[in-house]
Amino acid sequence: MSSHSAFAEAADALAVSVLGALSGTGGAVQLARYVDDAPDTLAALAAVRVLGADVFSPHLLGGDPFQAQDAAVVAKAFDAFPASGAPDEPAVAHRDHATAVLLARLSGDDTLRTVAPAPPEDAALAPRDDWSGWCVLMAQLAPLAALGLDGPVHEAARAGVLSLSRGVSRSILRRDFPTALRLVRWLAWLRHEGAELPLDPDVAAEHAWLVGGTGPRTALDLAIARHFLEQRPGTPPKETARP
């Protein structure tokens, strides 16, 4: 099996586990056990890196207590796959830093922020005339649409409500439903932040999922979007740090 399919499969499996925890049916994620039990340890760690900030969603949205061994696993994932100062993809640096921020906060260990430093100012982030290209980048940054995160990417999202709405519509019309749902997640986050939207993210999300939703990672984007859509605007994260 190629590392691409191994990593993708592992990411899907981890997403299923996170989904279970989010929905309250699967019990806590238990990252340490997940990696221990995995036949391919490197793939399991890759899965943690791929999902990034999303592994914390049951804690942020559901209030599941964050365990020390979970923090250790995430740190190990960064040991195996160190954050790059100059990654191939601009989105990667932002995703990694978001993971690091949440890891430090939830574990109560501020030194963990250094596993992925804040990326330098990114001109590509500013909403631009090329709204469709910008939306491709924002879709890659979907895990940042999470409770308790804020920064340049979120500023860009706030300034780009119209572009994101256009992006959702475009992706649905192109029948690219995973991208559509990633962008809908941003709209759901924005609505939770109090933004007024030119389209209804709930209807768009349901449509995209019914017509073309496949795979646990896309299901996870939808589930997190739904959490934002169902909560009262301004609701803070349920789990903010270990006591």
Partner 1 sequence: MLTKEFTLTATPAQTTTLSALMAEPEAAVSDAPLYTPEAAGFLLALLLLSPKEPKEPRGK
Partner 2 sequence: MTTIPEPVTRAARSMADRALSWLHANRNLGGLPPDTTETMADPDSVYKPLGETTLAASLILRDGVAGPGRLAAAQSLMDFTWEQFRHGDMIYERQLRHTLMTDPLEMYAPFVRCGYRHEGLDRLLAHRSRMRSAGSVEVLPNRRLAVANAARIVGLPATEDMGALAAATWLGARPEPWAVNWITAYAVTHTVFHLTDWGADPGGLPPELTDYVRTWLPVWIDVWSEVGQWDLVTELLVVGASLEDPYVRPEDWEAVAALQHEDGLVPRDSDPVDDDPQQRFTDHQHTVVVAAVAGSIALARAGQR
As a whole number of Å, the CA-based R_g of the chain is 17
Residue 100 contacts partner 1 per CB under 8 A:
no
Yes or no: say if 15 and 222 are a contact pair by the CB < 8 Å rule: no
Per-residue binding string, partner 1, 148-177, x by CB under 8 A, is: -----------------------x-xxxx-
Yes or no: say if 124 and 137 are a contact pair by the CB < 8 Å rule: yes
The whole-angstrom separation of Cα 169 and Cα 175 is 10
Please, what is the minimum distance in Å from the beta carbon of residue 57 to partner 2?
26
Residue 169 contacts partner 2 per CB under 8 A:
yes
Yes or no: say if 102 and 146 are a contact pair by the CB < 8 Å rule: yes
Which partner, partner 1, partner 2, none, binds residue 23 by CB below 5 to 8 Å per kind?
Answer: none
Both tokens of 236, joined, read 């803070």
Q: According to CB under 8 A, which one of 72, 195, 197, 199 is a site residue for partner 1?
A: 72
Stretch in the footprint of partner 2 (CB under 8 A) among 79-87, 99-107, 166-174, 220-228: 166-174
Residue 168 contacts partner 2 per CB under 8 A:
yes
Both tokens of 189, joined, read 């986050």
Burial class (CB in 10 A: 0-12, 13-18, 19+), 73: buried
Site for partner 1 in 7-46 (CB under 8 A): 7-8, 11, 32, 35-36, 41-42, 45-46
Yes or no: say if 183 and 138 are a contact pair by the CB < 8 Å rule: yes
Q: According to CB under 8 A, which one of 198, 214, 233, 241 is a site residue for partner 2?
A: 198
In single-letter form, the type of residue at position 96 comes to: D
Closest CA to 197 of 175, 223, 228: 228
Site for partner 2 in 21-40 (CB under 8 A): none
Residue 49 contacts partner 1 per CB under 8 A:
yes
Judged by the rule CB under 8 A, the positions of this chain that interact with partner 2 are: 131-132, 162, 165-166, 168-170, 172-174, 198-200, 203-204, 207
